[in-house]
Structure 1
Amino acid sequence: MISVENLELKKLNQDGVNTLVDWAKNEGWNPGENDSTVFWKTDPDGFYGFYNDKELIAGGAVVSYNQEFGFMGLFIVHPDLREQGIGKKLWYLRRDLLIKRLHNNASIGMDGVVAMQPFYEKGGFNIAFRDERYECIGKKMDVSTNISPIETEDLEKLFEYDIACFGYKRQEFLKSWFSMPQSNTFKYSENNEVLGYAVIRKVDKGYKIGPLFANNNQIAEELYKSCLNTASGDSVYLDIPTINTKAVDLVNKYDAKYVFECARMYYGQAPKVAIDKIYGITTFELG
């Protein structure tokens, strides 16, 4: 039996983040094959956990976006060591550390599985909306000529567009997210103006779209079809905020099947975002 009282919070190196993502794969969370590299580049100081005899036994993200907004994700205790109080101690230490990493009164987000939501609520988080994961099978379809890949010269416009949907600047994350191996990026443009974008990447089982942001349902559908085009015959997953009923309509139109759900939760004030533009969130791990 491990002495929970003697466990000390330690910063993880990149190998530690890789281990957490491997555990996430074993949990069936279906992470991307290159997710850990992007996560690490986003905030190398944003991952902490517990070690026992130099072996990682539990960990999670405490990522800061320019000290303006934080996100707690990738929270995992090794399956052999659960129900001992390790996770509870780790979670509260991570929450308190992230509060210190941020500006005063900055908000923190997370996506909580249903079973853990009461625990997170006791820790000061409030549910903003439900996220549901849907699975569709990729197939070839014609798409709008307004769709094109994201290029380097598009980045500044994409950064600005993303703020309206995420709520805060996250350039470092996006630069790495857009350039991941085994991924495809798409933007929808009219008159040199970006009206939506999407990323699809290879994950452990199939492919996952995230984010899918668009000004309206028609644009969202064209981006969704573009992503499905790249994964013909494979499972394609999309995590939608059910508060946006147009996102629900989109997955229903393509006969996507419900997989599971989380809830987007916030400690402090929920960010001001254009929820009607969010057809698919980026990740459950970093927001």
Structure 2
Amino acid sequence: MEKATRPAVTLRAMSEADLEAAHALSRELNWPHRLEDWQFFLEFGQGVVAERDGAVVGTAMCWLFGEKAGTLGMVIVSPDAQGLGIGRKLMAAVMDILGNRTMMLHATEEGLSLYQSLGFVAVGEVFQHQGTAFSVPLPELLPDERVRPMGLRDMEIITDLDARATGMDRRRLIDTMDKSALGVMLTRDHEVAGFALFRKFGRGYVVGPTVAPDIGGAKALISHWLGANAGMFCRVDVTEASGLSPWLDELGLQRVGRVTRMIRGTPVPVDAEFHTFSLVTQALG
């Protein structure tokens, strides 16, 4: 009697032609990403797909932010193909693309043990908040502090502040977001002190990234977007260290999930005067 064999799994580079299959995989896991979100990720990132019998059964993506750091995410294996070591193979492939860069990711509970075995270390948590805020109190602004619309000349400032807060060169990400995102700037004494972007994502809209010098500035920026879009479904992913989670709960954006922030390699230096309070997405940081 012949012994049944498992179909071979092969890896190859992700192309735009794979995005519909990748989107179907994320929907299979009830992830909120639209096809447009996958297209956004691939526009300035790289991906790997796992194929079995001509069908895409797994994905992983990474983004190179300068010569020293990068992030990875969108690691998905179809439930029908789990237990075959595909996730580990996909991770090895994108880690090879990242090379010697410091690598950062946000891990679900299901992927935590895999990432730990690959040398990633937990450094904190991120809380996912989403929902509809119908009444957002006006923020208490400091004297000579205000929130104003983003202008054409602000993109260079946003890129600089983001780099100072994250320690990464995310110019390509910011430039790509500029095609679809709206922005507001926080100013103090007529000097820019922070910003927050707002764009369509998943089931509604996302506020992020938000960069500010302190929690008061972050609340002023996020309040602007939630207040201006009262009654609309919004998502905000905040770090545990930000201290914003209880406040978002009170506004009506309930905490619906948490992921573990992980890093492999030497942490990149950041400017202590600026902090990232909300993320672009969990995949991008």
TM-score greater than 0.5 by the shorter chain: yes
For residue 93 of structure 2, what is the aligned residue in structure 1?
93
Q: For 1:185-212, what per-residue CA distance to the aligned partner results, in whole angstroms no more than 9, with x for missing partners?
A: 2221245532111122223323221211
Listed one character per residue, the Cα deviations across residues 158-213 of structure 1 (whole Å, up to 9, x for unaligned) are 11100122211111111111321xx4322212455321111222233232212111
By how many angstroms is 1:14 displaced?
1.7
Once the two structures are overlaid, the 10-residue window that deviates more, 147-156 or 162-171, is 147-156
Provide the C-alpha distance between the structure 2 equivalents of 1:82 and 1:210, rounded to a whole number of angstroms: 32
Structure 2 stretches lacking a partner, 5+ long = none
Tell me, yes or no, if the aligned pair for 1:140 and 1:229 is still in contact at 8 Å: yes
C-alpha distance after superposition, 1:135-167 (max 9, x if no partner): 242346556783223232111111110012221
Query: Which residue of the partner structure matches residue 244 of structure 1?
Result: 242
Q: Does 1:259 align with 2:256?
A: yes
Q: Deviations over 1:202-232 (max 9, x none)?
A: 2332322121111122221111111113432
1:196 to 194, 202, 214: 194
Task: Look up the equivalent residue of 2:261 and give its one-letter code.
Answer: R
> 1:257/1:157 Cα in 2 relative to 1: closer, same or farther (>3 Å)?
same
What's the CA shift for 1:23? 2.9
Identify which of 106, 115, 132 aligns with 1:120: 115
Distance 1:278 1:99, change over 3 A: closer
- 2:213 maps to which of 197, 212, 215: 215
**CA-CA distance at 1:56 after TM superposition:** 1.6
SS at match of 2:84: coil
1:33 to partner: Cα distance: 6.0
Instruction: Point out the structure with the larger strand share.
Output: 2
Matches within 5 A, 1:126-275: 126-139=121-134, 142=138, 146-180=146-180, 183-245=181-243, 247-273=244-270
> Residue type of the partner of 1:126?
V
Aligned AA (1:98): I
Equivalent residues in 2 for 1:20-99 (5 A)?
20-31=22-33, 34-43=36-45, 46-95=46-95, 97-99=96-98
CA distance change for structure 1 residues 137 and 147 in 2, over 3 Å: closer, same or farther?
A: same
Taking structure 2 as the reference length, the TM-score comes to 0.85
Q: CA–CA distance in 2 between the matches of 1:2 and 1:72?
A: 32
SS where residue 73 of structure 2 aligns? coil
Q: What amino acid sits opposite 2:177 in the alignment? A: W
Find the aligned partners of 1:277 and 1:166 in 2 and give their Cα distance: 8
Structure 1 stretches of at least 4 aligned residues deviating more than 6 Å after TM superposition: none
Which structure's CA Rg is the greater one? 2
Contact 2:238/2:277 (CA < 8 Å) preserved in 1? yes
Q: Report deviation, 1:3.
A: 4.1
- 2:159, 2:170 within 8 Å by CA — same for their partners in 1? yes
Q: Structure 1 residues 19 and 187 mapped into 2: Cα distance closer, same or farther (>3 Å)?
A: farther
2 CA distance for matches of 1:15 and 1:138? 37
CA separation in 1, counterparts of 2:19 and 2:169? 23
Residue identity (%): 18
Q: How many pairs align?
A: 276
For the 8 Å contact 1:107–1:267, the answer to whether it is kept is yes
Preserved CA contact (<8 Å) 2:61 2:72: yes
CA distance in structure 1 between the aligned counterparts of 2:43 and 2:153, rounded to whole angstroms: 21
CA gap 1:3/1:118 in 2 versus in 1, 3 angstroms: same
> In the superposition, relative to structure 1, how do residues 129 and 2 fare at CA in structure 2: closer, same or farther (>3 Å)?
farther
